[in-house]
Amino acid sequence: MTLLSEALNRDEPEDDEAAVGGDPYERDTNAPEEEDLMALLLPQGQLPRCADRFSLLYNAAAIYGWVKQGSPACAAASLAGSWNALMSLGRSAEGALSVDDLLDVLRRNLEHTISRRRDKIDRLLGASFEPIDCALRVRVAAEGKHFGAKQKTGERLTPKQCIRLLREVVLSGASGNTAASEPDAGAAAADESPSELAFRLFGELVLAEDASMAAEEEEEEAEGADAECCNLGPPKGTPRDSSWKWRADVASFYAAVGGLEKLCRPKSSTAFFGNQDLASALRSLSDERTDAACRLLPLAGRAPPKGQAVAEGYVRLSPADGEETAAAQWRALQAHFVLPGRVVRDILVSTCPTLFFGSDASRAGSGRPGTLVCRRCGAFRCCVLC
């Protein structure tokens, strides 16, 4: 399988590196979008003479509907190009989608996800999480960190660091509320502000967690002691749901916040978004239009995703597949490739729509088609848009 990013020989020119402070970023080539088709599709622009047999299938709609990405926004470029191909629209045609169109859809969907996750925290906390969120963001900025920064810069806030700073912010804010240390802390004072209420309730969650961990340590150290004797239980005045496992919900919320930061950079990144997010973006696009709609279905991989509709004739792949099995898998993917109203999309190394299939005939006598299994992780995932 050959991808557009490979065919166009993606590179990182020096002038682009300088434009972003010497930090290379993922993007497509500077070559013009209108390429010589023969040079693009054929090795050295001509039929290979070393191959006993050679075949080629290409998707002209995907070639002419493909849009370039100027940043690590592979998901947006992929969906835009795939949509254009399905709608038989060239990239410059009226109504064709661009990378910015998809970035806007992904941003709106992610903002909605963040809102839903914060609403869940509010509900389980029994108060608005906003005062704590604002205080944490100030603390994160003071630490020189960002939720969505690149890992290699050292500025990215890791999940562990996020939880640690959140605990410190909460306990610091709750310490000013003297009611939190009183026996009747469960009954908020009549003049308690929303901010004080939020810090008190979350502070009690943190203290209850600490008490539970201390109790577990005592149980491990006490030889022959009754386990129930060490069960301290939560302090009085616990939040509405004392069994709430807040760490997972908070981590999920700030992961989405980091994803939004990446998306809103000057050089937008769609690294946060997974297959489900892209399927949701296509649903949003389809809902906005009365004359067009499409969907994203998994087509190939180790196993069909649980709880997700898949394409008919799903192709199972494994590193242990032999020559005959691999050849049958290749034929199955080619069969999907030629069906009208479909675009096959490879999401192994890139999220670009697949433009063409060709035999991997580097030497005469090689009957093995293009490799379907990733050498790095032994995985391969492929989706079909229809």
pLDDT by 10s per residue, the chain, length 386: 232 222 222 333 333 333 444 445 556 656 666 777 787 777 777 787 777 777 788 888 888 888 888 888 988 988 998 898 888 899 999 989 999 999 999 999 999 999 999 999 999 999 999 999 999 999 999 999 999 887 677 788 999 999 999 999 999 987 766 444 455 545 545 578 999 999 999 999 999 888 877 776 666 666 454 544 444 444 444 444 457 889 999 999 999 999 999 999 989 999 899 888 988 998 998 898 877 888 888 888 888 888 888 888 888 888 888 888 888 888 888 888 888 888 887 654 333 444 444 433 333 333 333 333 332 333 344 566 66
Strands 56-58 and 354-358: antiparallel
Q: Between vectors from CA 209 to CA 208 and to CA 214, what angle results, nearest 5°?
A: 95
Radius of gyration of the chain (CA): 27
Question: Alpha-carbon distance 207 to 128, whole Å?
Answer: 19
In order of 53, 180, 355, the CA distances from 57 in angstroms are: 14, 70, 8
Beta-strand pair 56-58/382-385? unpaired
Q: How many CB atoms lie within 10 A of CB 3?
A: 19
How much is the pLDDT for 303?
A: 85
Phi, psi angles (nearest 5°) of residue 208: -65, -40
Q: Phi and psi of 315, rounded to 5°?
A: -100, 115
